[in-house]
Chain A
């Protein structure tokens, strides 16, 4: 059974960075792509970007190019997303999702990032 387990809630101060993790079990991430999506409080879903864990290649939505950095560690089967220069409007739930032939059948449970001084 494929499962995506995300790291716990983060509280970050404005101007700092946080790094979220998404550990996959039941599937080798070398054979897929890992995506990140956010959801601001009471709002819809927003695609952030994708990483190919096999070679580190990434694609980002334009607005996240200087905000998010996607990496992956195939030895631990884990994807990561670092958010830099945190601002209050980065407060959101961040989901990882695994690409498949059906697209995003598998999601992590989400990580709440709260930006506050």
Chain B
């Protein structure tokens, strides 16, 4: 199974900050990497698919990059409504696997 390791597990930043969340796969996942945002009590919401494609309706302050085993989600200017847990997800091979999440907080 491909292990997805996210860092940091908790990130505290100020409104307006540029924040970067990391996701490392245990093997090459060929850019088949999605990012999801999950707010408390809600289902996950797709932000980015296939590494760097912004899902329809998602603000442009979210962006993704990476290749091989290393991927990042960047929020260019953190907003209060971005408080959530962010999960990466690989769909390169079975079984599909999620990272353990980064909890994003506002300072």
Tell me the count of chain A residues lying within 8 A, CB to CB, of chain B: 18
Complex Cα spacing A47 to B44, Å: 13
CB atoms of A46 and B43 under 8 A apart: no
From A44, A61, A102, A108, contact of B100 by CB (8 A): A44
Instruction: Give A57 Cβ to nearest chain B Cβ, in Å.
Output: 13
Residues of chain A contacted by B38 (CB below 8 angstroms): 45
Quick check: B101 and A110 within 8 Å, CB to CB? no
Contact B34 A104 (CB under 8 A): yes
Complexed CA–CA distance, A110 and B41 (Å)? 9
Query: Which parts of A13-49 form the interface with B (CB within 8 Å)?
Result: 35, 37, 44-47
Contact B89–A110 (Cβ < 8 Å): no
**Across the interface, do A47 and B87 meet the contact criterion of CB distance under 8 Å?**
no
| Of the residues A59, A62, A102, A104, contact of B44 by C-beta under 8 Å | A104
User: Which A residue sits closest to B53, measured CB to CB?
Assistant: A102
Chain A residues near B96: list those with CB within 8 A. 35, 47, 61
- A80, CB-defined interface residue at 8 Å: no
Give chain A interface residues in 60-102, CB to chain B under 8 Å.
61-62, 95, 102
Interchain CB contact under 8 A, B87 and A102: no
Distance in angstroms between the alpha carbons of A13 and B55 in the assembled complex: 40
How many angstroms from the CA of A104 to the CA of B23 in the assembled complex? 18
The 4 closest A-B pairs by CB, nearest first: A107-B43, A102-B49, A61-B95, A45-B98
